[in-house]
A and B are shown apart, each in its own frame.
Chain A
Amino acid sequence: MERYFLYFTTVILFSLSARAAEPDVKAGEQIALKGTSAGATACIACHGTRTEENKSAAFPRLVNQSQFYLAAQLKDYATGARNNAIMNPIAKALTDQEKENVAAYYANISFPTPKGKKPAAAVLKRGETLAKVGDEKIQVQACNNCHGPGGIGMPPAIPPLAGQHAEYLQAQLVAWKQGQRKNSLDLMAPIAQRLSEKDMQALAAYFSQVQVK
């Protein structure tokens, strides 16, 4: 009987979370600024706010992200489908509704692409070719097929690459190649496995300097 009760509770909870209430941006802002009593630390320390970006290249930029994608990543950090020592406990501490709220707060921000050190011309060229055309020799299709022209993203499900920190982009490709990142594994792992370290560097360098208008 108890098992059935649990089952039904789970079903009800699941349907509730599947139909989460409209996100509360104000509540999301509170989480971003102050964290939660359940132990999620404030996001701003690393990711900045809607109006002021944290410029450290150590953390991914949240520019131009859809609410859907941000919430999905938080859920995947909670389950371990994405692996990150900092993000896993934070995501676990957030309820599904809190994830939606904070995702809504950070959704669709716009900041110009930061000016960094310009990569070598040959590196940029290789990155651009892979991004726009692909390479038949290694059977890699153009990134922009799915990530949109100029890597601006194909919301809600496919994130932008344009203007993202090179370190972050490269780390994600490596994580897919080595099987550590398990969301979108079917789509991204076969591509990452075909890319050499140099190709990953070139792609990351190229996308990191694409200007988003």
Chain B
Amino acid sequence: MATRLKPVDVVTVGVGMTGAILGKEMAALGLKVVGLERGPQLDTVPDFQSPNMHDELRFAVRKALMQDNTKEAVTARNNSDQTALPIRRWDSFLPGTGTGGAMVHWNGQTYRFQVADFIYKTHIEKRYGKKFLDPDLQIQDWGVTYDELEPHYDRFEYLCGTSGKAGNIKGKIQAGGNPFEGWRSREYPTPPMKEHYAGALFRKAVTNLGYHPFPQPSSNLSQPYTNPEGLSMQTCSFCGFCERFGCEHYAKSSPQTIILPAALKMSNYELRTGCQVLRINLDKDKKKATGVTYVDAAGREFEQPADLVLLTAFSLNNVRMLLLSGIGKPYDPKTGEGVVGRNYAYQTMNSAQIFYDESVNINPFMASGSSGTLIDDLSGDNFDHGPLKFIGGAYVGAINTNGRPIEYRPTPPGTPKWGADWKKAVVRHYNHTVNLNGHGGSTASRQNYLDLDPTYKDAWGLPLLRITFDFPDNDIRMARYIGDQMKKIGEEMGGKQVAVQAREKSWNTTVYQTTHNTGGAVMGTDPKTSAVNRYLQSWDVSNLFVVGASAFPQNSCYNPTGTVGALTYWAAEALKRYVKSPGAMG
């Protein structure tokens, strides 16, 4: 029997980036806020300190900072005819756990989406006609525009202290930045990161080819920075342990370095860790949330009543919590009806390696998670897709995030996978290889969706989330085109051999791609095709907001964190109005 706790004003389900920002913003209004986090409290000191943190086996291979999938897995399949199986070892994507969530182990790559991304359906139909799209594609407008989000992108980047070079300030193109980007109101808070040698080789080659290179925006900082919350960051030392690791150095923007301490300073904000939320409770007619039920680390069940529930978990867990709580109509791929689970999308990742002779020393171990050199010429709708017969694109860049001893082992195609010849090849190529990344968008389609698994349950007896996903044909055509361009760039970079892996079917859960799982509780202006309105408020339960990449109607080609941050501040502004006069805002 659940113990009923004293009611509070606001509860956040999850204390990652969205939960920490909204928790702080709501507490600043004087509301009593409780942040519920299933994982432990994690702090730079002592949790992220060396030498423990540089344990590649523990954190990168065994993924110690991730959601515990012995308790709570996700099942996966490629299409509705298959039986999904639980992912018992995270590989394709890595949901985090503990305070800070996935923004602890991210690489700090901090992008904005394109102006056209937010009006994707309107834009594509206008430019290419209504018959251009494959029939299975299900793209939508967001219900919010780039211009509306700009101040919130700005606020998030200044919270993070993001290091970069603007390419477009108020419509004026800036030398050295990305000329394709949407306008920004001012320069990045800190200057770009140092360019590594791989980036310099890439810059030279793409300049020769007529492309427009720019430094990757990075939330591992290039210099000390104090953000508007009064929290200070330090300089990245290029240790090469960003992705899958916490930053030992106060140099990576994570909730514990940029926002959470500001929330914890307020007496009306309370963090409770080790609390697994089981469901959002609803009133009799299912129009209002009454709070949440959770189990603490000792197995005791509690009911936490709250006037306002903010679903701020990882995108997949946001969708699962809606389904477990019976909020919103589940999506049915056969009829195309229903909204929860609809338009799940991912990322279409392409890669290439350029193998040099031994006179070219890359030193891949001098790395940071986001210090690459990129081009945006092939991103989104920055090029004419008319003759190409697909939509979407990819940013391409030399992004060298690490040269760690266990997993960084580039070898040319045809090298044996083990034994003496493999070892020889590893020694030969370790320091003489550049990796290219072709980070492609993911187009929402009718057949890709999320629902509850009919068979497998978590440690608390609740159904796991089931992913049904494969790359739509459109995205495969896009990947092949991007792969061809990467090959040309690789050849221009002067290596002896270029190997390209354009993404092919089918989605494979045993190979890391990205942790950019999007959609499933998408935002929009029509309750028939979206689970939340343009303020991320549930259409069905007005005192519930669902915040995260779960709101993306489809995924752009950029890493999602910047846009999740912008949406979070956009929702925070809406919530300030909501608190004054509660009710549906649609």
Contact = CB atoms under 8 A, between A and B. Distances in A.
B232 interface: yes
A144 B51 contact: yes
B248 A149 contact: no
Name, among B43, B45, B248, the residue most crowded by chain A CB atoms within 10 Å (CB to CB).
B45
Contact of A187 (B46, B51, B232, B235): B235
A141 B235 contact: no
Contacts of A191: 234
A133 B47 CA distance: 9
Nearest to B366: A157
A190 B232 contact: yes
B223 interface: yes
Contacts of A135: 45
B224 interface: yes
Nearest to B53: A145
A149 B223 CA distance: 25
Query: Which secondary structure dominates chain A's binding surface?
Result: helix
A136 B232 CA distance: 12
Contacts of B239: 145-146
Interface residues of B, number: 18
A142 interface: yes
A149 B248 CA distance: 14
B248 A186 contact: no
A89 interface: no
Given A136-B46, A144-B50, A189 B250 contact: no
Contacts of B506: none
Given A186-B224, A187-B235, A136 B51 contact: no
Contact of A145 (B43, B232, B235, B249): B249
A142 B224 contact: no
A133 B51 CA distance: 10
A196 interface: no
Contact of B237 (A140, A144, A146, A149): A146
Interface string B117-129: 0000000000000
A139 B248 CA distance: 11
Nearest to B48: A141
B50 A145 contact: yes
B44 interface: yes
A142 B45 contact: yes
A134 interface: yes
A140 B235 CA distance: 13
Interface string A173-199: 000000000000011011100000000
Interface of B: 43-46, 49-51, 53, 223-224, 232, 234-235, 237, 239, 248-250
Given A139-B45, A149-B51, 6 more contacts: A132-B49, A133-B49, A135-B45, A145-B49, A187-B237, A191-B234
List 4 tightest A-B contacts by C-beta distance, closest first: A134-B45, A136-B45, A145-B50, A186-B235
6 contacts: A140-B45, A144-B50, A145-B49, A145-B249, A146-B237, A186-B223
